[in-house]
Amino acid sequence: MESLKNPGPSQRPGPEEIKELLDDSFGPAEFEGNPNTIEDNSHKRGLEFLYDVPLQVSVEVGRSKILLRDLLKMGEGHIIELDKTAGEPLDIYVNSRLIARGEAVRIGDKFGIKLTDVISASDRIEKLG
Q: 55-108 pLDDT, tens per residue? A: 999 999 999 999 999 999 999 999 999 999 988 999 999 988 999 999 999 999
**Number of domains comprising the chain:** 2
Domain of 63? 57-126
| Helices 15-26 & 38-50 angle (0-180, nearest 10) | 60
User: Residues in the chain, how many?
Assistant: 129
33 and 85 housed in the same domain: no
Going 14 to 40 to 25 to 31, the CA torsion angle's sign is negative
Torsion-angle region of 33 (φ positive above 0: left; ψ -120 to 50: alpha; else: beta): left
pLDDT of residue 60: 94
- The answer on 119 and 62 residing in a single domain is yes
On average, the pLDDT of the chain sits at 76
CB 46 within 8 A of CB 66: no
Q: Answer with the residue of higher pLDDT: 1 or 123.
A: 123
Say if residue 37 is in the same domain as residue 94: no
